[in-house]
DNA sequence: CTTGAGCTTGGAGTAAGCTCTAACCTTAGA
DNA sequence: TCTAAGGTTAGAGCTTACTCCAAGCTCAAG
């Protein structure tokens, strides 16, 4: 599969794919004419990359994980990747909480704007924002 | 309250607060000597800003909301802010789903690394990544 | 009155993650 | 064979959200 087909299939721009190669995150094969060529292995890889990205991994962290995966399995590698993953799981849990509370708050704000009878005054919203703010302050 | 007290209280750097003023997101009062001065009104505002930030609003979107709020209420304003909020609620809902699924997947990856018997082969993980990838593809 | 901490400004620099430009090569179709 | 679409590169530029710097003002304590 050439770069533009791969680009369309996965919703990443040509430039992004070239950038990922330069960053050594996703390195395609090359045809005799120098054109990039993506195969099934690259499909698996790009899916993982996209998933890790949406759940909050930086490209650097993704690269770390990919590089660890390439090395022969060892205690050290496991500890490193485990730490990275545990860390991320913690952050994701916190972020889910914040988003859930934030969604609720936004719904109230919306009701308030619409003049809904259930949310007659700003006090309810003020309290929710206060709670959400407090949630942001203390980790996990 | 002066800038450094306000900075410490809300965990924003001096530069960030000055940047927020420059960006017209949070404009403090001024003392006779030219020093910035933050009061209760600014406390409320900064709490809202921090909350909106963690749930995924960009500073530009935050500014939009703040500017709409300042104007006299009107149908047009309500429609605009409602759209912004609805949009965000949709994105947050999707993000929560992705994070929940992502967390599950990360837990499986972790078990796999640890050699846990429940996740003996990569196929389970592969499927989860496939599902998560599909979730990322289609909006809401 | 000096010293030093803390405030002010404008403007430059940074990091992440792309995005664009220019110049040039390759290939398929009329 | 010409042309247009699509591939290549190096390197500059952009956006967001800060972050840092230099030069200078303010103020409290000794």
Question: For residue A118, is it within any domain?
Answer: yes
Question: For residue A22, is it within any domain?
Answer: yes
- Strand D positions with any atom < 7 Å from protein CB? 6-9, 16-21, 26-27
To the nearest 10°, the Cα dihedral for A17, B88, A92, A58?
A: 20
CA pair distance B115, B15, nearest whole angstrom: 47
Let me know whether B97 and B66 are in one domain.
no
- Per-residue confidence (pLDDT) for residue A120, from 0 to 100: 59
User: Using 50, 70 and 90 to split pLDDT, how confident is the model at A99?
Assistant: very high
Let me know whether B106 and B66 are in one domain.
no
Least CB-CB distance to B110: which of A82, A93, A106? A82
- Per-residue confidence (pLDDT) for residue B123, from 0 to 100: 83
Question: Tokens 């660890």 identify what position?
Answer: A68
**3-class DSSP state for residue A37?**
strand
- The domain boundary, picked from A38, A70, A102, lies at A70
Mean predicted confidence (pLDDT) in A48-73: 90
- Per-residue confidence (pLDDT) for residue B140, from 0 to 100: 47
The domain that holds B21 is classified in CATH as: 1.10.1660.10
Question: For residue B77, is it within any domain?
Answer: no
User: Using 50, 70 and 90 to split pLDDT, how confident is the model at A116?
Assistant: low
Domain with A117 in it: 89-139
Let me know whether B57 and B13 are in one domain.
yes
The answer to whether the CB of A43 falls within 8 A of the CB of A82 is no
Let me know whether B44 and B10 are in one domain.
yes
- Per-residue confidence (pLDDT) for residue A18, from 0 to 100: 98
CA–C1' gap, A102 and C3, in angstroms: 49
Question: For residue B78, is it within any domain?
Answer: no
Let me know whether A65 and A94 are in one domain.
no
Question: For residue B132, is it within any domain?
Answer: yes
Least CB-CB distance to A99: which of B55, B86, B102? B55
Using a pLDDT cut of 90, give the percent of chain A over it: 67
> Is the model's pLDDT at A12 over the cut of 70?
yes
DSSP β-bridge partners for residue A36: A30
How many C-alpha atoms does A123 have within 13 Å on its Cβ side? 3
Alpha helices, H only, B11-121? 14-22, 40-54, 59-70, 75-114
Q: Which nucleotide is the nearest neighbour of B32, by CA and C1'? A: D26
CA pair distance B57, A62, nearest whole angstrom: 24
Question: For residue B36, is it within any domain?
Answer: yes
User: Alpha carbon B19 to chain centroid distance?
Assistant: 18
Least CB-CB distance to B85: which of A82, A106, A136? A106
Best of B98, B103, B115 to mutate (most A CBs within 10 Å, chain A): B103
Question: For residue B83, is it within any domain?
Answer: no
- Per-residue confidence (pLDDT) for residue B46, from 0 to 100: 97
Question: How confident is the prediction for chain A on average, in pLDDT?
Answer: 89
Residues of chain B with pLDDT under 50: 140
Let me know whether B94 and B62 are in one domain.
no
Let me know whether A104 and A61 are in one domain.
no
As separate numbers, helices (DSSP H) first and strands (DSSP E) second, chain A gives 6, 2
Let me know whether A43 and A98 are in one domain.
no
Let me know whether B17 and B44 are in one domain.
yes
Nearest to B20 by CA among B52, B63, B55, B56: B63
**Which residue's CA lies closest to nucleotide C10 at its C1' atom?**
B22
**What's the full length of chain A, in residues?**
140
Specify the number of domains making up chain B.
2
Question: For residue A81, is it within any domain?
Answer: no
Let me know whether B98 and B65 are in one domain.
no
With CB atoms and an 8 Å threshold, state whether B106 touches A92.
yes
- Name, in order, each residue with C-beta under 8 angstroms of A123's C-beta and a sequence gap of 6 or more: none
Let me know whether B63 and B97 are in one domain.
no
Nearest to B27 by CA among B10, B9, B39, B12: B39
CA pair distance A111, A131, nearest whole angstrom: 18
Let me know whether A93 and A58 are in one domain.
no
């Amino acid at each position: 599969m050439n770069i533009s087909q791969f680009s369309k299939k996965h919703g990443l721009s040509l430039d992004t794919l070239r950038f990922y190669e330069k960053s050594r995150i996703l390195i395609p094969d090359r045809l005799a004419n120098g054109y990039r060529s993506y195969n099934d292995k690259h499909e698996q890889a790009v899916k993982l990359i996209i998933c890790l990205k949406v759940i909050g991994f930086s490209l650097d962290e993704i690269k770390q994980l990919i590089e660890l995966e390439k090395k022969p399995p060892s205690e050290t590698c496991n500890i490193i990747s485990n730490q990275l993953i545990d860390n991320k799981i913690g952050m994701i849990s916190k972020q889910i909480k914040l988003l859930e509370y934030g969604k609720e708050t936004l719904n109230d704000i919306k009701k308030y704007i619409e003049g809904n009878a259930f949310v007659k005054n700003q006090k309810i919203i003020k309290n929710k924002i206060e709670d959400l703010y407090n949630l942001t302050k203390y980790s996990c």
